[in-house]
A and B are shown apart, each in its own frame.
Chain A
C-alpha cells in the first residue's frame, strides 16, 4: 500500500461523504422550507403530470434558456450533455460486469468529452468577452470553469496521449466501494485528474452547482397552476386563520 493509494482512498471516502451528506442536507432543507404562495410562472400546466413534463423539458432541453439566448443555450447544452455522457462512461470504473446501457452510451464518451470541453471553453470565453457577463462574474465563477476544464483536459490527455493503467484504476475504485483497498496506479496525471474530481465533489454542496437540485425545487416551475381549484396553505400561514 503506497502513500498515494492511502491518501487518495481517504480523500475519496471523504469527498463522497461530503457530497452525499452535503447534498442530502441541502435538498432536505429545500424540501422542508414552506412555499406559502402559488407562484408558477404562467402559462403553467394545471396538473401534476403537466408539471413533471415541464420539469423534464427544463432539465433535458433547457426550454427556458432556449427562449432566452440561443448561443448560451447551445454552449450550455453542449457542456451538460457532454458531461452527462462522460459521467456515464465513467460508470464502467464502478461496475463489474459493466451494465449494457453503460457500455452502449459509454461508446459516445469521447464525443461527450469533446462536447464538454468545447462547451466549457465557449462558456468561459463569454465571461471576459461579453460586458454584461464580465460585470456579473465573480472569481469563483472563473475557478469553477477552470476546475471543470482541467478535469476534462486531464481526462482527455490520459485517454488519448499519456495512457494510464485503466484496469488498475478500476480495481482501485471497485476496492473503495467495498472498503477493501487496492493499489492506485502511480501516475501523476491520474493523480491530478482524481484530485480535481475530489475537489469538485467537495465544493458541490457549497457552491452554485446547487442549481442542479435547485431547478427541481423552483416554485416558478414545479407548481401546478390550480389556485382557484385547490386551497394552497402553508403551515405557518394556516395559523393566521385560526
Chain B
C-alpha cells in the first residue's frame, strides 16, 4: 500500500473537495480466513458459484428488509449526500460519495431485479454482478463506517448504512468476509468479549484496578464480577478493561456506583457491550451476541441493565436489544416476559451510564470537586451511533444534552465545536463500522479530517485540550490519528474519565 501515511491538509472552507477518481481503489481490509468464516457459519472462501448465490442472497434480503428495497428504488441522484461523507471529504475518491457507494449495489439491483435494468441496462446505469463489481463492493463497502450522516440530509431518508450492511451480508454469504469484524465476533461467541479476555484474566484485571484506585484515593471502590443478587448488570466495551484512556471511564463508572451506594456487577459471560454483528449486517449474529447479555441478566438476577461508553453498543442496546433479546419493556410474548418481569419497570431498560449518572446528579446523590478538572478545557465529540441512531432520557435530543450535562456538572471549562459538526450533524471519527483495523490506517487518518478541522478550530481559539467522547471506537481511533494532525494522542478521553477526576468518594448519603 501507500508508502507513508499522511494527514490531508485542513480545508480553508468546508466545501466539497475536488474529485480524484480511484484515489482509494487499493484500500482493502484483510479478507477473513476460512477458519474465521466457518466459525460464523459462512463459507470459508469465495465459492465457485458465488454469483448466483450472491444474487439469491440479495433477493432474500430484499424480501426481509423494507429499508433495502425502498432505498434501492427511491434515490433520484440529487447529490444532496455527495459532500456529506467524511471519507469522501478526506479521500476525494468519488466512489466514497454516499450515492456512488449505494449505486455499487443499486446498479446490480437494477440489472437483476428491475424491468428497465433488464431491458435497457446502459440507460439506467445497470450492471451485471461481475467479479470486478464484487471486488469494488469489497473495496468501497469497507470504506463506509455506517455512520448515517448522509441519511440526515437525504430528502428520501435513504441510509447508506443499510445498503453497506446488506452488501457485507451478501459478501459474507458467498465467502468474502472481512477479517477484523468476523474474527472478533467469533471471539465473543467463544469467550464473551471482543478482546478474547477469559474470565480469570478479567477477574485479575479488576482486582488490579481495585488496588490502583485504593492507592490513589484511599477508598475501597469495588469492581465486582459475576455477583448474584446485584441490582445492576453493567455491560461495557471490553476495551474499558485495560486500554488507555478507556479504563479511566471504567474507574469512573465504579466510583459513581460506589458513591451512590448501588450494588452492581460485571459479567464474565457477557463482558462485551460492543456488537460487531451490527457492522456486518447480520441479524442472526447480532442476536446471538445480544443473547449473552440476556443470559447473564437472568443468571445473575439483576434488576437493571446499564451500558458503558460505547457508540454502536448503545445503538444496539437502545434500539435493538428489546427486539433481539427482550431487554426493554412492552413485550407480551413468553420470551420477553421471562426477562421483563425480572427487570425493574421504574428504570429505563437498558440505561446508558450517562443517563444513570445524570439522574444521580439531579437527585443530589453525587458531589464533585469541579476544580479537579480545571487543567482541562473540554469539548465533546458526538459519536455517530449515539447521535443518529439512539436517544437518552425522555425527550428527543437527550443523547446530545445528557452527556453534555454530565460534563458541565463535573468540569468548569466546556466549549462546543462548530455546529455543523456536532449533534445529528456530527462527523464520524473515521473508524466505525468495523474499520478500526491497522491495515486501513490510511483511510482512517483521511476519514478523520472533518473532525480534526473542527477540533483544530476550538484548540486554536479556546485552547481546548481534551475531547470527550462516549465511544470505545472513537477513543481508540482518535488515540491513533490525533498525532497525524499535530495533536497529542492523550487529548481524547471519556466522559466518565472526567467524572472520575472530579467525584467525591465516601461523602454521599
* Pairwise interchain contact B424-A211, C-beta atoms closer than 8 A: no
* Pairwise interchain contact B81-A68, C-beta atoms closer than 8 A: yes
* Pairwise interchain contact A136-B97, C-beta atoms closer than 8 A: yes
* Pairwise interchain contact A240-B287, C-beta atoms closer than 8 A: yes
Cβ-closest chain B residue relative to A45: B396
* Pairwise interchain contact B66-A221, C-beta atoms closer than 8 A: no
Question: Which residues of the other chain, A, contact B13 by a CB distance below 8 angstroms?
Answer: none
* Pairwise interchain contact B320-A64, C-beta atoms closer than 8 A: no
* Pairwise interchain contact A132-B155, C-beta atoms closer than 8 A: no
Cβ-closest chain A residue relative to B79: A133
Which residues of B approach A to under 8 Å, CB–CB? 16, 18-19, 62-67, 69-71, 73-84, 94, 97, 99-100, 103, 114-116, 122-125, 148, 151-159, 162, 283-284, 287, 318-320, 322-323, 326, 328-333, 335-336, 348-350, 387-391, 396-397, 399-400, 424-425
Q: Decide if A180 is an interface residue (CB 8 Å cutoff).
A: no
Selected from A131, A141, A231, the residue in CB contact (under 8 A) with B322 is A231
Question: Which residues of the other chain, B, contact A43 by a CB distance below 8 angstroms?
Answer: 391, 396-397, 399-400, 424
- Give A62 to B154 CA distance when docked, in angstroms: 9
Selected from A131, A214, A233, the residue in CB contact (under 8 A) with B70 is A214
* Pairwise interchain contact B74-A218, C-beta atoms closer than 8 A: yes
* Pairwise interchain contact B67-A215, C-beta atoms closer than 8 A: no
Question: Which residues of the other chain, B, contact A238 by a CB distance below 8 angstroms?
Answer: 333
User: A76-B78, A139-B122, A228-B348 given as contacts; is B396 within 8 A of A34 (CB)?
Assistant: no
Cβ-closest chain B residue relative to A33: B66
- Give A139 to B421 CA distance when docked, in angstroms: 35
Question: Which residues of the other chain, A, contact B319 by a CB distance below 8 angstroms?
Answer: 37-39, 227
Q: How far is the CB of A147 from chain B (nearest CB, A)?
A: 13
* Pairwise interchain contact A217-B116, C-beta atoms closer than 8 A: no
Q: How far is the CB of A106 from chain B (nearest CB, A)?
A: 27
* Pairwise interchain contact A220-B151, C-beta atoms closer than 8 A: yes
User: A42-B424, A132-B79 given as contacts; is B396 within 8 A of A229 (CB)?
Assistant: no
Question: Which residues of the other chain, A, contact B158 by a CB distance below 8 angstroms?
Answer: 218, 220
- Give A220 to B200 CA distance when docked, in angstroms: 43
Residues 218-242 of A at the B interface (beta carbon under 8 Å): 218-222, 225, 227-234, 236-238, 240-241
* Pairwise interchain contact B348-A36, C-beta atoms closer than 8 A: no
* Pairwise interchain contact B66-A65, C-beta atoms closer than 8 A: no
Question: Which residues of the other chain, A, contact B123 by a CB distance below 8 angstroms?
Answer: 138-140, 143
User: A139-B123, A233-B323 given as contacts; is B74 within 8 A of A68 (CB)?
Assistant: no
* Pairwise interchain contact B82-A133, C-beta atoms closer than 8 A: yes
8 more contacts with CB within 8 A, not counting A41-B151, A211-B74, are A38-B319, A39-B319, A41-B157, A65-B80, A207-B116, A210-B74, A229-B329, A231-B332
Selected from B64, B79, B154, B322, the residue in CB contact (under 8 A) with A232 is B322
A interface residues, how many (CB within 8 angstroms)? 66
Q: Which 9 A-B pairs have the closest CB atoms?
A: A68-B153, A214-B74, A218-B157, A231-B331, A138-B125, A43-B396, A65-B155, A68-B80, A221-B157
Residue interface bits A191-219, CB-to-B below 8 A is 1, else 0: 00000000000010011101100110111
Q: Decide if A111 is an interface residue (CB 8 Å cutoff).
A: no
Q: Decide if A148 is an interface residue (CB 8 Å cutoff).
A: no
Q: Decide if A126 is an interface residue (CB 8 Å cutoff).
A: yes
Q: Decide if A3 is an interface residue (CB 8 Å cutoff).
A: no
Residue interface bits A130-173, CB-to-B below 8 A is 1, else 0: 11110111111101000000000000000000000000000000
Residue interface bits A75-89, CB-to-B below 8 A is 1, else 0: 010000000000000
Q: How far is the CB of B71 from chain A (nearest CB, A)?
A: 7
* Pairwise interchain contact A219-B67, C-beta atoms closer than 8 A: yes
Question: Which residues of the other chain, A, contact B62 by a CB distance below 8 angstroms?
Answer: 33
Q: How far is the CB of A105 from chain B (nearest CB, A)?
A: 24
Question: Which residues of the other chain, B, contact A221 by a CB distance below 8 angstroms?
Answer: 157
Question: Which residues of the other chain, B, contact A132 by a CB distance below 8 angstroms?
Answer: 16, 19, 79, 82-83, 94, 97
Q: Decide if A44 is an interface residue (CB 8 Å cutoff).
A: yes
* Pairwise interchain contact B67-A135, C-beta atoms closer than 8 A: no
User: A41-B152, A132-B97, A211-B156 given as contacts; is B82 within 8 A of A206 (CB)?
Assistant: no
**B74, B124, B155, B332 — which one has the most chain A CB atoms within 10 A of its CB?**
B155
What would 27 A/B residue contacts be, using CB atoms closer than 8 Å?
A: A30-B66, A38-B323, A41-B388, A42-B390, A42-B399, A43-B391, A45-B396, A64-B153, A64-B155, A69-B79, A132-B94, A133-B79, A136-B100, A137-B77, A203-B116, A211-B73, A214-B70, A215-B157, A218-B70, A219-B157, A222-B157, A230-B329, A231-B329, A233-B333, A236-B64, A238-B333, A240-B287
- Give A221 to B153 CA distance when docked, in angstroms: 12
Question: Which residues of the other chain, B, contact A139 by a CB distance below 8 angstroms?
Answer: 122-125
Question: Which residues of the other chain, B, contact A206 by a CB distance below 8 angstroms?
Answer: 114-116
- Give A163 to B288 CA distance when docked, in angstroms: 69
Q: How far is the CB of B162 from chain A (nearest CB, A)?
A: 7
* Pairwise interchain contact B318-A227, C-beta atoms closer than 8 A: yes
Question: Which residues of the other chain, A, contact B75 by a CB distance below 8 angstroms?
Answer: 208, 211
Q: How far is the CB of B154 from chain A (nearest CB, A)?
A: 6
Question: Which residues of the other chain, B, contact A2 by a CB distance below 8 angstroms?
Answer: none
**B123, B157, B389 — which one has the most chain A CB atoms within 10 A of its CB?**
B157
* Pairwise interchain contact B330-A231, C-beta atoms closer than 8 A: yes
* Pairwise interchain contact B396-A231, C-beta atoms closer than 8 A: no
Q: How far is the CB of B490 from chain A (nearest CB, A)?
A: 31
* Pairwise interchain contact A208-B424, C-beta atoms closer than 8 A: no
Q: How far is the CB of B215 from chain A (nearest CB, A)?
A: 39
Question: Which residues of the other chain, A, contact B82 by a CB distance below 8 angstroms?
Answer: 132-133, 136
* Pairwise interchain contact B94-A135, C-beta atoms closer than 8 A: yes
* Pairwise interchain contact A44-B396, C-beta atoms closer than 8 A: yes
User: A41-B151, A43-B399, A231-B326 given as contacts; is B159 within 8 A of A220 (CB)?
Assistant: yes
User: A43-B424, A228-B348 given as contacts; is B66 within 8 A of A219 (CB)?
Assistant: yes
Question: Which residues of the other chain, A, contact B287 by a CB distance below 8 angstroms?
Answer: 237, 240
Q: Decide if A72 is an interface residue (CB 8 Å cutoff).
A: yes
Question: Which residues of the other chain, A, contact B388 by a CB distance below 8 angstroms?
Answer: 41-42
